Amino acid sequence: MHSRPTVRTLPPMNLGLRARALLEPKRTALVTSDDRVSFADLCARACRAANVLRERGVVAEDAVAVALRNSVEFYEIAAGAALLGADVVPVPWRSQRDEVHYLVEDSRARVLVVESDFAFTDLPSMPLDEYRALVAAASVEPPPGARDLAPISLRHYTSGTTGRPKAVVRAPLDARVQLEGIPRHLALFGVDDPSGVHLVCGPLYHTAPLSFSCQALQAGQTVVLPERFDPAQTLALIESERVTWTFMVPIHLARILRLERRDADLSSLRRVLHAGAPCPEEVKRRALEFFPEGTLWEFYGTTEGRAALISPGEWLAHPGSVGRALPGVTVRILNDDGKDAAPGETGLVYFSPADGRRFEYAGAPDKTARAWRGDVFTVGDIGTLDADGYLYLTDRSQDVIITGGANVYPAEVESVLHAHPGVADVAVIGIPDEEWGESVHAIIEASPGTEAGPAELIEFCRARLAHFKCPRTVDLVDRLPRDPNGKVRKRELREPFWSGRARRI
């Protein structure tokens, strides 16, 4: 008789870190360039971190700010704070001084763990080298009163493109309810395999890379953590670590495609999720051909919530769409009168929270009130729904250019320019025009080694867009200004053109 092969049964995905460490102590939790950290090791590191934070006065409902590069310490601090019942506030580690001060003071963070060469003497700052020394000497036993389940709690701030960032806060969930929600949320994106391997492509201070990787880790999956994104390294890691899913933004896809590499073994991939910015159609189509069939899925989401998802096949049938509403979510387009727009009619995008929990912007009741209309909220995105319920985004409301009485949505123009080989990145803005009110102006970061001039780029647009949408003028720059989250500072680009004029920019 032939014996049946042994089938390994993995523990459930709704365990706390300490339970995971007991059940699967040797299983790999984190992979970095020079280390492989087991769940037992990560649990011990989290306990050490918790003891260090407790010595600094951190207690339940406090906040701990983290301004670090991608590192194991980021996760151990997050898990250590969770043992104490504290939130983690991700801070871009390259932020300007006043930005760090604002986030620490607004969140009332008890401690700021920061890269050693970015320490601040006038804040409760703990440089990384000091933190490491303290952790090395700390106990591996959980601190008194440590929480048993201790799901990681993240306090994310909005990007603040229209003012100072504000924290998005919700009523806390019971720890068991929160942990049980993680596998359900991963299942929405088709990434709830208990043996999954997640690759981090972005910096951990961004909402999606940190949230997805923390969920993967808490669900018992392995997280592969490079210090920074490198397209060649990304393909190598997918192959060597047998990565099953990852999250990218369109610039990651574009940089991978520029390698023109076709020999990487990507067969382990089940999902490549992308979001965060409009993806040029040319990039999307090439990426669909590059990655294994059926793996490239797009979703629409914000710091405040996630709303829509689209499969590769659906996107090919509805090019440019970001998908239909996720289960449990209602997506609506409302016009200026607050009424539901007809299919194809443009308006503000509103959607409901997936778990039914309302959020508020901490310390900003007016902003909170403006965001909500009944049970749905908006972050200012403009879009349309087609007759089948597929959502198309056109732009942010504050970025609309009105030229000669016609609305021009910069994202549409930027998508066209992105398809030109001479364009590495682009920002389209409205500038003053005595006759038209505003005219369309493109500021372009040129691709290395290319020599496309303004006339060529304008004609490129004119061949693909109605002429009133096309740039009348083009500036070529070495680099576009960006905020710590990587978003182009359009306000800074507009300022020289609108300074001294009676117009809000």
pLDDT in tens, the chain (505 residues): 444 544 456 778 888 899 999 999 999 999 999 999 999 999 999 999 999 999 999 999 999 999 999 999 999 999 999 999 999 999 988 777 777 888 999 999 999 999 988 777 788 899 999 999 999 999 999 999 999 899 999 999 985 444 578 999 998 899 999 999 999 999 999 999 999 999 999 999 989 999 999 999 999 999 999 999 999 999 999 999 999 999 998 878 988 998 877 789 999 999 999 997 778 788 899 999 999 999 999 999 988 999 999 999 999 999 999 999 999 999 999 998 889 999 999 999 999 998 889 999 999 999 999 999 999 999 988 899 999 999 998 866 667 787 866 778 788 889 889 989 999 899 999 998 876 778 999 999 988 888 889 999 999 998 888 788 899 999 999 889 887 666 788 888 988 998 876 443 3
The amino acid at residue 235 is L
Per the document, the length of the chain is: 505
CA angle 296, 301, 304 (to 5 degrees): 155
Closest of 84, 85, 107 to residue 174, by C-alpha: 85
Q: CA-CA distances (angstroms) from residue 233 to 108, 199, 227, 267, 401?
A: 38, 11, 11, 16, 40
For residue 492, what is the DSSP state?
H
> What's the CATH architecture for 17-322?
3-Layer(aba) Sandwich (3.40)
Paired sense of beta strands 347-351 and 331-334, if any: antiparallel
For the chain, which residues make up each domain, given as ranges? 17-322, 323-399, 401-498
Residue 28 to residue 487: CA distance in whole angstroms: 34
User: Would you call 399 exposed, middle or buried from its count of C-beta atoms within 10 A (0-12, 13-18, 19+)?
Assistant: buried
Structure tokens at 151: 């799901």
Looking at domain 323-399, what is its CATH homologous superfamily? Luciferase; Domain 3 (2.30.38.10)
410-418 and 281-290 helices cross at what angle (nearest 10)? 50
> What's the CATH architecture for 401-498?
2-Layer Sandwich (3.30)
pTM, two decimals, is 0.82
